[in-house]
């Protein structure tokens, strides 16, 4: 008998109240769920978590299964959704680094003693470059970047339209990038 047929019959029996069939169904679903989780890129404990969460969802949604339809696609859809949930959770949590070479691969981001002077020099250079911009561009940078005002606030204070502020801000950034050697959006 095929796996599809075995699980579909066990689900139909479980929906009818057969506890032994339900236990067999849950055992039979585990390898299918694990395969789906691995296919989504999960490993180790994450696969076990997806199995548990899928079985809980299957239990909660067992009344929604239609015995006239195939069981495995229904199960795999639930498992796929739980695997995606697990992937989202993994992406939100910072991962701990266990690789001793990782410390050598990523430089220490703490400032070196001479960095404060270099940062002050860069800030002074940027301030001079912004001061040299045409008035409209300088005003846009001061309000939108330095003072972090919204377009609405900057428009109200300057008497310029939001569109004019956007254009001036974009032109100012383009000029500053050119001055400091940054690449434009289309450059590779």
Domains and CATH numbers, the chain: 3-92 (1.10.1740.10), 116-180 (1.10.10.10)
The tens digit of pLDDT for each residue in 114-125 reads 677 777 888 888
Encode the chain in three state secondary structure: CCHHHHHHHHHHHHHCCCHHHHHHHHHHHHHHHHHHHHHCCCCCHHHHHHHHHHHHHHHHHHHHCCCCCCHHHHHHHHHHHHHHHHHHHHHHCCCCCCCCCHHHHCCCCCCCCCHHHHHHHHHHHHHHHHHCCCHHHHHHHHHHHHCCCCHHHHHHHHCCCHHHHHHHHHHHHHHHHHHHCCCCCCCC
The tens digit of pLDDT for each residue in 59-101 reads 999 999 899 999 999 999 999 999 999 988 887 655 555 555 5
pLDDT band for position 110 (cuts 50, 70, 90): low
Query: What integer is the mean pLDDT of 168-182?
Result: 86
Helix, strand and coil percent figures for the chain, each rounded to 5: 70, 0, 30
pLDDT at 171: 93
Whole-model pTM: value is 0.49
Buried residues in 96-125 as b, exposed as e (16+ CB within 10 A): eeeeeeeeeeeeeeeeeeeeeeeeeeeeee
């Amino acid at each position: 008998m095929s796996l599809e047929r075995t699980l579909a019959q066990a689900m139909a029996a479980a929906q009818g109240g057969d506890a032994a069939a339900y236990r067999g169904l849950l055992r039979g679903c585990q390898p299918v769920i694990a395969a789906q989780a691995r296919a989504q890129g999960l490993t180790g404990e994450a696969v076990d978590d997806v199995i548990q969460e899928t079985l809980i969802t299957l239990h909660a949604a067992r009344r929604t299964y239609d015995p006239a339809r195939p069981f495995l696609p229904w199960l795999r859809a639930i498992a796929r959704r739980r695997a995606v949930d697990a992937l989202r959770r993994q992406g939100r949590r910072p991962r701990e680094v266990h690789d001793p070479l990782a410390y050598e691969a990523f430089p220490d981001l703490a400032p070196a003693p001479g960095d404060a002077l270099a940062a002050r020099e860069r800030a002074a250079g940027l301030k001079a470059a912004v001061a040299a911009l045409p008035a409209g561009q300088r005003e846009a940078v001061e309000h939108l970047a330095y003072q972090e005002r919204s377009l609405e606030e900057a428009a109200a204070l300057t008497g310029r339209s939001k569109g004019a502020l956007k254009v001036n801000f974009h032109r100012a950034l383009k000029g500053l990038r050119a001055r400091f050697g940054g690449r434009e959006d289309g450059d590779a």
